[in-house]
Amino acid sequence: PSGPEATPAERVPTGVHNAVDYERLAPRHLEPGRLAYIAGGCGWDQTVAANRAAFEHWAVLPRLLRDVRRGHVRLHLAGQPLEHPFLLAPVAHQRLAHPDAEIATARAAEATGTCLVASTLSSAPLEAIAQAAGSGPRWFQLYLQPERAHTLDLLSRAEAAGFSAIVLTLDASIQLASRSALAAGFVLPPECTAANLVEYAPSAPAPLGPGDSRIFQGAMRHAPTWDDLQWLLAATRLPVWIKGVLHPEDARQLQAAGAAGLIVSNHGGRSLDGAPASLAMLPAVRTAVGADYPLLLDGGVRSGLDAFKALALGADAVLIGRLQMYALAAAGALGVAHMLQLLVEELQACMAQAGCATLADIGAEALVPALPFT
Ligand code: FNR
């Protein structure tokens, strides 16, 4: 049955046995242009491919006879208790996937004890997302606005709505289009407005003078600098995480500047095509910041097994980007909750086989190269 009499489990799309099945089935639920925009990276999708390939490089070594009967996947992240190490990454324009957009995602987050990171570019206003998230943990992803007054306004709205941390994304000051989205003729449909920003009249772009470059004096004119970071850290009482870190030296400097934690990420391959896989940079960033500093990873995570590998290589938790849009498109809030539940179960199964009762037991010794003899 699929009508109102169906139980929630009966409304889960058929053929979904693993979280990644939502990706496999996405072409059924998203028209080609939207799918190309969501799935694509930038340029030729080299970094999208690298994010996936990096996980395939590692295999998990099973362990025998270990007692994992007290096992669980709970953790504390910078003092905040979480049910499991999957967070919902900030993903803009969720109305592309479902009319309920971030409201559905937030409901799913609360139902599964998942920390939600709401994008500055959400289709629903941040206050409505916070309300839908109920008592669940929620962070707000910030893009610094050209006008500091607008950034301050976003910050105070996020604080008032009960967001408990700010995630400042620094790797997307310019984003080149995805070639597959261009080829599919994708343009953002009119219903996908950035609801949080409608109040702020867009600042008029300054005319380009002779000798100006479109990139440096154009798009990068408002790109944040270290001074802006210091300003932001002083402007909010909330902890500030930095998203988009790949270079170990940046990581060290951001830690010293007072970031609450870092997200090793290449924006799902949507910022610099040719950037390394985030998983490939994770061990060096972990070494740079030390064992105890909060560190997250996103990019290419499609299974509990992938999350296990990221935790083994130094992440405390992972964020889920595209899978969230695919599950949202397939079955709204129920799909996102189901996808998260599948990820948690997949991680638990992997931990049990690897003899790890808790997340703290997952270390680099659990991994071997997938093809050690080639
Ligand atoms: C994103 N991402 C993103 N990041 C961010 O900080 N703010 C944003 O508004 C968005 N918007 C956005 C839209 C879409 C359609 C995608 C696919 C991604 C990046 C996102 O947070 C995350 O870094 C990646 O999606 C992680 O990679 P996977 O899980 O998609 O492979």
Give DSSP secondary structure letters for 67-115. --TT----EEETTEEESSSEEEPP-S-GGGT-TTHHHHHHHHHHHHTPE
Q: Which of 54, 123, 112, 120 is nearest to 87 (CA)?
A: 112
60 assigned to a ligand binding site: no
Report how far residue 344's alpha carbon sits from residue 282's, in angstroms, rounded to the nearest whole number: 22
Any binding-site annotation on 71?
no
Pocket flag, ligand 1, residue 265 (CB < 6 Å): yes
Cα 321 to averaged position of ligand 1 atoms, centre (Å): 5
- Residue nearest atom 10 in ligand 1 by C-alpha distance: 91
| pLDDT tens digits, one per residue of 284-325 | 999 999 999 999 999 999 999 999 999 999 999 999 999 999
Testing ligand 1's pocket by substitution, the residue of 30, 93, 186, 270 carrying the most ligand atoms inside 8 A of its CB is 270
Mean pLDDT, rounded, of the chain: 94
Known binding residue 59? Answer is no
Average pLDDT over residues 217-234: 90
For residue 174, what is the DSSP state?
S
- By C-alpha distance, which of 50, 166, 57 is closest to 118? 166
CATH number, span 16-189+230-361:
3.20.20.70
- pLDDT of residue 213 exceeding 80: no
- Residue 179 known to bind ligand: no
Q: Is the CB of 141 under 6 A from ligand 1?
A: yes
CA dihedral over 59, 63, 69, 71, signed as positive or negative? negative
Closest-CA residue, ligand 1 atom 9, reads 92
Is residue 72 part of the annotated active site? The answer reads no
* Residue 261 to residue 168: CA distance in whole angstroms: 11
Give the ipTM of the model, two decimals please.
1.00
Taking the whole predicted model, whether its pTM rises above 0.90 is answered as: yes
Ligand 1 center from residue 268 Cα (angstroms): 6
Tens-place pLDDT, residues 269-290: 999 999 999 999 999 999 999 9
- Confirm or deny that 76 is annotated as ligand binding: no
Question: Token digits for 10?
Answer: 């009966």
**pLDDT confidence of residue 103:** 98
Q: Which residue has the tokens 């059924």?
A: 28
Q: Which of 224, 99, 102, 242 is nearest to 173 (CA)?
A: 224
pLDDT above 50 for 1: no
Taking residues 105-110, what's their average pLDDT? 98
How open is the CA angle 243-236-118, to the nearest 5 degrees? 45
Ligand 1 mutation pick, 22, 48, 91, max ligand atoms within 8 A of CB:
91
CA-closest residue to ligand 1 atom 24: 268
The pLDDT of residue 174 is: 85
Domain ranges of the chain: 16-189+230-361
Q: Is the CB of 121 under 6 A from ligand 1?
A: yes
The torsion angles phi and psi of 319, rounded to 5 degrees, stand at -110, 150
CB 214 within 8 A of CB 65: no
Instruction: Please spell the DSSP secondary structure of 187-252, one letter per residue.
Output: ---TT---GGGTTSPPPPPPPP-TT--IIIIIGGGG---HHHHHHHHHH-SS-EEEEEE--HHHHH
282: tokens are: 């994770």
Query: Does pLDDT of 55 surpass 70?
Result: yes
Question: Percent of the chain at pLDDT above 90?
Answer: 87
Instruction: List the residue whose alpha carbon is closest to atom 14 of ligand 1.
Output: 91
